[in-house]
Structure 1
């Protein structure tokens, strides 16, 4: 028997798999990678040796207003490590510079004060100036051009009015943008809903290039690069983290060159070959990434890439915040025929995208091929409304999976385990 400890919210649950049924384990090498220095030292070294850029302290000289774009509560960016060093670098170069931290909520809800304290620490959360991005506030947005896709590029006014725009973030596999980090701080991070909807259109989400770990010919990535350039994003500090959300590498400097170095490092650690199985067990890496069903679709795509046609995905994700998007939930709940709903989405043109349809589109793609069993703290009715199976424990989930497969003539189905579905690139 093989035993796995799977992240589940702020806790773990235990999965036991018979040796004869275990097909494989897909695990990012980031979880075993031993960083050569401490978290603080890694970030300090990156800032001291920026890639393709002067040091941040040099960039700060002569500037009046700096805006630091920072990821929100749904991302495990170790801002308590990164932000103090960014602030120190900026003020070393220019003690009088006016600094604001712009929280890149994308299309998510605003971050609470309690979450700010948890993310940055009490001192920064209470003493620094914060601006909360709200993508639906049209009055806060300014046009900076037209995306390659044809959509208008509207971003938060605070970023446009800054004379030095920088960003912190982290690099992980992303299920349609290829990787997080870098240019994603702008789009969707601080972009208007109008711009996000154009970029996340059905055509682009359906592209075979809009997949985990791929940037080449990725139409979503192309739009994002344009937005970052048009916004004049001058400097980034992105990190790679392990399963414990600890920094294991840091990359700072030019928005594209530093990000490229970081994605190359991440690919070496995260790339894994699929091990096809009848049942694939995956997670969303625990808190904060598994706060809702919306985010959980990311971990499902790793399972999708290794699940046999007609197989079962068991998704371990706490989802204590519920669905994470009312429009996302409604698209699934109101669907009486999943294929018809998918066809409706695919028929929409770029300027006809509706809220959360991209997340719905990807979940529909999975549900049309696989049964999904959610091990979760979300309400049972919500899970079932979204055409998934509900349970609150892993043992019942595995029994349910076996029962589903038995009806299809499969007994003692093979099992692949992905302990952290958002940390791997299954190719």
Structure 2
């Protein structure tokens, strides 16, 4: 049994347990560049050439270091097509969609974007322009200045399972990644996250997704180039209108990533790996994706085990630090959850969701560089996966918890 840890792997031994491995079908993989070029040749909606003008200043919003995406390849293909439309590199700004995550370093940007790193700027959530409002409460929709000042707005991104949006990608890369606290506060607040349709893997009838798409309309998102991936690699690439891209790629992902579950387990081991296990904020997605998905596979009082490297500890961004403070200062999960139902600052929503899970299940984080941080945050730290599981347990191992959809076998 092999599990991801940082950029490497570990091979925990659970010899005295009954182990089941959740192995998604995986699907057929594609070459990213070839698939991206074909997607641009046959877009969902108007072509890229129809959405830009040779005189345009163009902003391309890309994902940040917390996502696994070949942004360099997608960006390279987009720049080639923009050149064909008469738009030169000097007319393009690449905006890294940080949301409230920490800024990427020059070295990280170089590694992510290669020869196009010189075009990139980190999004600044405090330098934004309001472009309208969404929702019954007229929530301000604000966007970073480089995007607001552009004549055409494009995006790359990944359509992958997302705790709130159902699947990420489409307008989310821009509206959240290059937006401000106002929209994040609204979409990630307790009222929104408590709605029935806000669920991992659900796109249709999902109020979170609908709000993000409406914000994308206000922001003037003209064209997207997104992909979806499975355990073996990239499964598909689509280009064009964001809503249509997300629906089509989500369908491909569901078929490739779903694993039927027909019984309950004493423990679930949730594989995460880089880049998501760089900090506790991101790594806890492994636990919440499993416990709050379509089918919670745990028995009552069953435990979640997340091997995670945590070289950044809790995380250093604004959202990560708010998450850390909420968990660190709480006495127990139940009281934290009830307190946070009254509201919280953007970024702290991950503490709210973690508290929701911890009310019912203990969470053990193993193999980390920051066990003290884990223990501060209402969770348990152990040196190894085997140390976190009682002998004789029935264990479900999910090697890629962020890209596996556990569904009811019935």
**TM-score normalized by the length of structure 2:** 0.92
Q: Which runs of 4+ in 1 moved over 4 A?
A: none
**1: distance between equivalents of 2:142 and 2:53?**
28
**2: distance between equivalents of 1:186 and 1:124?**
19
Q: Which among 2, 8, 11 is matched to residue 5 of structure 1? A: 2
Q: Which among 169, 172, 175 is matched to residue 181 of structure 1? A: 169
Q: Which residue of structure 1 aligns with residue 124 of structure 2? A: 134
Q: Deviations over 1:343-381 (max 9, x none)?
A: 111123xxxx31322101110011111111101323221
Q: Which among 317, 321, 324 is matched to residue 326 of structure 1? A: 321
**TM-score normalized by the length of structure 1:** 0.88
Q: Secondary structure, in 3 states, of the residue corresponding to 2:354?
A: helix
Q: How far does residue 42 in structure 1 lie from its aligned partner after superposition?
A: 1.2
Map 1:251-270 → 2, pairs under 5 A = 251-270=238-257
Gaps of at least 5 residues in structure 2 are none
**2: distance between equivalents of 1:280 and 1:197?**
31
How many residues of Structure 1 are paired with residues of Structure 2 in the alignment?
Answer: 396
Q: Which among 72, 76, 82 is matched to residue 84 of structure 1? A: 76
**2: distance between equivalents of 1:75 and 1:42?**
20
1:186·1:227 contact (CA, 8 Å) conserved in 2? no
Q: Secondary structure, in 3 states, of the residue corresponding to 2:171?
A: helix
**2: distance between equivalents of 1:382 and 1:96?**
47
Q: Which residue of structure 2 aligns with residue 15 of structure 1? A: 12
Q: Which residue of structure 2 aligns with residue 211 of structure 1? A: 199
**1: distance between equivalents of 2:331 and 2:16?**
40
Q: Which residue of structure 2 aligns with residue 413 of structure 1? A: 393
Q: Deviations over 1:314-356 (max 9, x none)?
A: 11121211112111011011011321211111123xxxx3132
Judged with a 3 Å threshold, the aligned counterparts in structure 2 of structure 1 residues 51 and 380 are, in CA distance, closer, same or farther, namely same
Q: Which residue of structure 1 aligns with residue 354 of structure 2? A: 363
Q: Which among 203, 213, 216 is matched to residue 225 of structure 1? A: 213
Q: Which residue of structure 2 aligns with residue 236 of structure 1? A: 224
Q: Which residue of structure 2 aligns with residue 276 of structure 1? A: 264
Q: Deviations over 1:249-290 (max 9, x none)?
A: 101111111221111111111222234200111112x11122
**2: distance between equivalents of 1:190 and 1:389?**
35
1:148·1:222 contact (CA, 8 Å) conserved in 2? no
Q: How far does residue 224 in structure 1 lie from its aligned partner after superposition?
A: 0.3
Q: Which residue of structure 1 aligns with residue 41 of structure 2? A: 48
1:133·1:156 contact (CA, 8 Å) conserved in 2? yes
Q: Secondary structure, in 3 states, of the residue corresponding to 1:235?
A: strand
**2: distance between equivalents of 1:267 and 1:370?**
26
Q: How far does residue 241 in structure 1 lie from its aligned partner after superposition?
A: 2.1
Map 1:158-197 → 2, pairs under 5 A = 158-197=146-185
Q: Which residue of structure 2 aligns with residue 424 of structure 1? A: 404
Q: Which among 393, 396, 400 is matched to residue 384 of structure 2? A: 393
Judged with a 3 Å threshold, the aligned counterparts in structure 2 of structure 1 residues 203 and 174 are, in CA distance, closer, same or farther, namely same
Gaps of at least 5 residues in structure 1 are 403-410
Q: Which residue of structure 1 aligns with residue 102 of structure 2? A: 109
The alignment yields a C-alpha RMSD, in angstroms, of 1.8
